[in-house]
Chains A and B, each alone.
Chain A
Amino acid sequence: MTWINAVVQGLFLGGLYALFACGLSLIFGVMRIINLAHGDLAVAGAFLIWTINSQFGLNPFVALLPALPIMLVVGYVLHRTVLARSLRGGALIPLLTTFGLSIVIQNALLQGYSPDVRSLGAAAGDWTTGSWRLTDQLSVPYIGVCTLAVACLVLGGLQLLLRRTAFGREMRATAQDADTAALVGIPAASIYARATAIAVGTATLAGAFLAVHSTFDASSGPTQLIFAFEAVIIGGIGSLWGTLAGGVVLGVAQTVGAAIDPQYSILAGHLVFLIVLAGPRGRSLITRSAPA
């Protein structure tokens, strides 16, 4: 029963990782940028929701409704003003830019919100600590199910957007070859900016669930970034369903590892990541030939 419980909890943890990973996956797939500020943008989103919650007394999940459009605009402006310029500077500059951005966001949040730790768990209501107790050793937390469902909806929605709509077609074309896409009249800059907006939007969603799952403060971003990055690599770049699978594999690896010995929890996740990296998918990543 311990093992079943480990797998079930891992599944829900995977949902959280997948939510974190999808924005990272999208930006990497479309622009070939590893956005090192992704975790910090998620935390910034969590702070925004916290602010709305404490100012207007809205439930954090209701506060998401005004917060999401704001963060979409933030993402769009971020690309137009910062990322677009750094993209012209070659492969390394965007990496440095997002690294710098991460430091700027962390310190701005520290300045604005003080180092206090915060959580949205209490504000979201008591149901977030409730669960279905199937047996004494197996329980299914409501918030876990909710996180996984939202992850499936977001990734499924993005997949539909990419496969079924004109905007998705343009995005795929730009991802494969921005210059050629420009020849047939697809403005790469605009596609990139919209992709960044969506990525920051999903990061906000992930930040909200992280804030309910645990506590957060200005320096919480980088830890989650590592897991998100691992989920992207395990799942395979460019495939959004793959990202979901990657998140779940990582989550289950961590919980099953912990069931063997708590020391192996994080390590098991890293090992799965390294095995994937050493395999053919990792090689294609290094040669940068993975189709988006």
Chain B
Amino acid sequence: MSVPPSSTTSSAPLSRRDLLRGTAVGVSGLALSPLLAACGGLGSGGGSGGKTLKIGFVSPRTGAAAGFGEPDAYVLKLARKAFAAGLTIGGKKYQVEILDRDGQSNPQRAAQVANDLINGEGIDLMLTTSTPETVNPVSDACEAAGVPCVSTVEPWESWYMGRNAKPTDKKAFRYVYHFCFGVEEFHKAYAHLWPQVSTNKKVGVMWPNDSDGNAIRSALGPLLTKEGYNIVDPGAYTDGTNDYSAQIAKFKSQKCEIFNTFPLPPDFATFWRQATQQGYRPKIVQVAKTGLFPSQVEALGSIGVGLAGAAYWTPTFPYSSSLTRISSKDLAAGYQNEVGKQWTQQLGPSLALFDVAAAVFKAVSDPKDKKAVANAIGGLTVDTPVGRLEWGKGPNGNVVVTPILGGQWVPAAAGSKYKLDFVVCENSCDTNVPVAAKLKAYGA
């Protein structure tokens, strides 16, 4: 920038020194404002920030995990409606504001929006969901800033141990809490699902070389071996591989009648089409991580019918949301009617987050006291669409374990608007959920 030397003070009242000084103040002010806000946020004495409770909500709405965030708009609408009248806590009335942000399926972005919510908006409680890429950085930011946070839809081991807690830790975190299934639930579901079809107990596995794949290899593999299954593991492949003929050849030569994988959706589609081309046809095709949502299975066409999967929520869960009083069945029906798309498993846990938020605010005398709110989550019992969550009973103080149930994608009943339906075939993790059908062999 150059100021013309001829400019007089009358025509340019801002001299260069003034400008620099002004800029310096401005910059330091900018640099300070998040700090100040953070101080305000950390000061847990209460009374600051008026009578509005702010809830931050971070989920992947765009990017590779955008499928998880799809029902969020509908769930947010339900939660906002339920909170519209405000909450009365300790004789005081509070307005509730929900600030939803998109983590873009990207850990850096998720951390950034979380910090903006904490420092810029001064939120009182954070909620976050879906995949380690979103949940872990948001939880880290909250633990560091001392803001209570509740998260879900990420296997709890990867949330707890993946963030430097030791398996032996009783309660590694002070402000962040989680509810989700873990490896043991997968083990239970598979151990009850697979015997429903007679096989040679040889399991061909495709576990990728990523955080989920490696966790499953080290934790689930030994459990399945103990159940008497013979694991055929060709080795970890890289996400985004476009050819799987080596694995298919191995599964064929070893005659693996069960197949299990934890892939990204396009990788499974590539594998499964190739497997069909090359004549590999196992009796049980157990897919996790992908095949959660109907669109992912529908995209496979006829070769998607009969895949076995697992669900962390279905409309047949006999539970209701304590905040909105909506039952699981009505939640799915409402989504299908209003949004016009088939229900997905995400509806349950997403709404459960808001149940937890409402319950914890009501459990404390001053909801602006972050430390009290965080402590209250640690002893909270709350009814949600995924079941009753009870902190303090789980594997550690921060985690509640929720069920995952084995099932199968079958053609929808005649007259249905949709092509496929997910039916629960075993309920070992939660016997209150009815079993709808017996697992059938793929292609049978």
The interface stretch among B187-195, B245-253, B319-327 is B245-253
Which chain B residues border A255 with CB–CB below 8 Å? 243, 245-246
Chain B residue with minimal CB distance to A10? B243
B64: interface (CB < 8 Å): yes
Q: Does A251 contact B (CB under 8 A)?
A: yes
Min CB distance B90 to A, Å, is 42
Binds A, one of B264-272, B350-358, B375-383: B264-272
CA distance A217 to B265 in the complex (A): 10
**A residues 93-140 in Cβ contact with B at 8 Å:** 107, 110, 114-119, 121-123, 126, 128-131, 133, 136-137, 139
- Assembled-state Cα–Cα distance A230/B296 (Å): 29
Size of interface on B: residues with Cβ below 8 Å to A: 44
Residues on the A chain within 8 Å of B303, using CB: 122, 129
* A189→B238 CA distance, assembly (Å): 42
Tell me, yes or no, whether A16 is within 8 Å of chain B by CB.
yes
CB–CB B273/A128 < 8 A: yes
Interface residues of B in 248-293 (CB under 8 A from A): 249, 252-253, 265-267, 269-270, 273-274, 276-279, 293
Please report the C-alpha to C-alpha distance between residue A76 and residue B11 in the assembled complex, in whole angstroms. Answer: 50
| In the assembled complex, A59 has its CB within 8 A of some CB on chain B | no
> Among B66-74, B135-143, B307-315, B365-373, which stretch is in contact with chain A?
B66-74
Interface residue? A254 (CB, 8 A): yes
Known: A122-B301, A227-B242, A255-B245. A141 touches B237 (CB 8 A): no
Asked whether any CB of chain B lies closer than 8 Å to the CB of A223, the reply is yes
Tell me, in angstroms, the Cα distance from A94 to B107 when the chains sit together: 28
- Contact residue range for chain A? 35 or more
User: What's the Cα separation between A163 and B234 when bound, in Å?
Assistant: 47
**Any chain B CB within 8 A of the CB of A161?**
no
CA gap between A13 and B274 in the complex, in Å: 11
Whether a CB of chain B sits under 8 angstroms from the CB of A259 is yes
Cβ proximity bits A1-28 to B, threshold 8 Å, 1 near / 0 not: 0100110011001001000000000000
Residue B316 is within 8 A (CB to CB) of chain A in the complex: no
Chain B interface residues toward A at CB < 8 A: 62-64, 66-67, 69-70, 105, 209, 234-238, 240-247, 249, 252-253, 265-267, 269-270, 273-274, 276-279, 293, 295-296, 299-303
Interface residues of A (CB under 8 A from B): 2, 5-6, 9-10, 13, 16, 107, 110, 114-119, 121-123, 126, 128-131, 133, 136-137, 139, 141, 143-144, 213-220, 223, 227, 251, 254-255, 258-259, 261-263, 265-267
- 26 A-B residue pairs with Cβ-Cβ distance under 8 Å, sorted by A, are A5-B249, A6-B246, A13-B242, A115-B66, A115-B69, A116-B293, A116-B295, A117-B295, A117-B296, A119-B299, A121-B273, A121-B299, A122-B300, A137-B249, A137-B252, A214-B266, A214-B267, A214-B269, A214-B273, A251-B243, A255-B243, A262-B236, A263-B237, A265-B243, A266-B238, A267-B238
